[in-house]
Amino acid sequence: MNLEGKIIGNRYEVITKIGCGGMATVYKARDNVLNRNVAIKVLREEFTTDEEFIKRFNIEAQAAASLTHPNIVSIYDVGNEGDLHYIVMELIQGKTLKEIINENGVLPWKWSINISIQIASALEMAHRNNIVHRDIKPHNIIITEDGIAKVTDFGIAKAVSNSTITAFGTTIGSVHYFSPEHARGGYTDAKSDLYSLGVVMYEMMTGRVPFDADTPVSIALKHMQEEAVEPIKLNSTIPQVVNNIIMKAMQKDVNLRYSSATEMLRDLRDALKDPNGNFVHIEKMNNDSPTQRIDLNENNISNSKKKGKIREYFAKHKVAKVFAILLSCILVFAIAMWGTVFFVDKNRPKQVQIPDLVNDNIEDAKKELDSLNLKYEITEEYNSEKEAGIIISQEPKYQDNYEINDTEVIKLVVSLGSEMTEVPKVVGETKEDAEKMISNAKLKIEFTEEKSEKVEEGIVIRQEPSANEEVEAGSTVKVYVSIGRGIKQIEMVNVVGQDESTAKKTLEDLGFKVKINYNETSSDNGKVTKQSIDEGKEVDEGTSVTLTVNKVIATKNVTVSINIKKITNYNPDDGENTTGSNNNTVNIRVNDERRTGISKNTSNYNNITLSGKEGETKEIKVVISDPKTGEEIYSSTKNFTFGSQDTITFE
């Protein structure tokens, strides 16, 4: 199946195939959520029908995903789409250690030790988390372009069932690095990884594996039965202490190997510092049996005679002899197998389903662990989300159907409850000192700037909560810091001579408020002649500035139109008007302008014009009187703004 160009899990866009193994195909892909390149290992189709294998595969991959170490390839995600099962991993740019050995042959011993230290460090982390690799080999170790060793496929080998392993094309390659117990199908643990690491070191420093043959079975038998040629005999440049480290790691008896990756790591580091040292000691099993005394009594003589008769019988009956030999071999083999199984079962740690202890009370958890005969270590830490005595986390983590050895130690982290701390007094301190003091008290800080007429800029005015108050560690303290008066100072510019609109915009853009006073003049209309604040003076932002602006005032005329006929109700046919006077004329006064002898039959008398400044409001009063008696017939007053209209009418 070619997945190039496809998107897996609605997230990973497959770019290209970068490798193919017996168990899976590896692709380079783009994580479209986090915008980074990743490697995706997709199980080959022939393994997706094995439900037990898939189950173990998911459990082990999820367990391995919890490992975080610079020498372990990180697992980001595990998932499936139908029959497509995949693991998303860190994408490493580099070569496998196997490729480097094939290209260079024998590698320098110091470089090899450096790589071995990194591998051992990765194994140390994994073993502490109860994860055994079970397939350490150069093919599973990637060396980055910076020379960093990255171990991949942690825990995946455990998913491989007996029915599946024979189908892998990589079995021949892997068996070169199997421990004796792995080769015989026995129980494997952390020490099996150390044996495999010893084989990897052997190959790096000699350019060859310690055991090789035409078939995997033959190689496995050599791991179980033969002693490897010491690497120092194949490469004389290897220090004796390095030779001893390799041979100790490759001891067939697990009890004679390094007890842990930590112990092997210590010797590897010491070997770099002191290559001539004599600090690695390899113990040997005592296979010598003491001499036994045989009593030559009558029973022994009788037994000898019986043995003689048996030999004589078999000499005459050769078929019976062959049958007896075969039967004896079968019996010996059966007894040996039974003894091996009995010994392994007897000495194999008991498997126990790991309990889920997170959020349990520690006392209840202790009782449960004691009932399961499991060991545990307890560390305590403050936690604001969990009450005191409640378990925050456990290692190994709980998983369904995940069993551990009853010899393994479960590490528990128990809450001490919320940590309380005292708020320091920071009022009067500088902003920088306040930040340090609050941080040292395990508190967070939130600054707010505030204007102050009394406290200088950069000094703390007040705080919340107040000093010496007890609060939870991690709480936030609000600190108010002075920014002084907080009013910006602006330097006045000169706008005299500018147009009113230009000068006003200039000052408003600087932050001033502008007021205008007009100076009536006959020239320079609209020009600023004076400003209330002198050029160069610094004043507060928002200060008002008064500008004096020339304004030429135009003269405007208005014609006063009077409907005398309507006002006097004059009717020529009556002979006399309604006022009772028989005179057909009237006198008119408009403000100070006077007219006499005006006919009452005039509908639109407009011979009086008044003048005034544009925009000026003036009172216009019209009085009509009898020319004989002087009596006022009509009087009316109106306010008029010059320039608003040309005519004002009275009627």
| Residues catalogued as catalytic | 135
Q: State the Cα–Cα distance between residues 26 and 41, nearest whole angstrom.
A: 4
Sole residue written with tokens 């000094």? 459
Residue 460 burial (CB < 10 Å; 0-12/13-18/19+)?
buried
Q: What is the largest CA-CA distance in the chain?
A: 195
Q: State the Cα–Cα distance between residues 378 and 414, nearest whole angstrom.
A: 7
Sole residue written with tokens 């160069």? 536
Question: Residue 35: what residue type?
Answer: N
Element holding 232 (H helix, E strand): helix 231-234
Q: State the Cα–Cα distance between residues 597 and 270, nearest whole angstrom.
A: 138
Distance of CA 581 to the CA centre of its chain: 108
Q: Please give the sequence-ordered ranges of beta strands (E in DSSP) within 483-567, or none if there are none.
A: 489-491, 513-520, 528-531, 538-540, 544-551, 555-562
- Which residues, 6+ apart, have CB-to-CB distance to 565 below 8 Å? 600, 601, 602, 603
Distances (CA, A) of 131 to 57, 61, 354, 623: 13, 10, 14, 119
Residue 449 burial (CB < 10 Å; 0-12/13-18/19+)?
middle
| C-beta of residue 5 within 8 angstroms of C-beta of residue 14 | yes
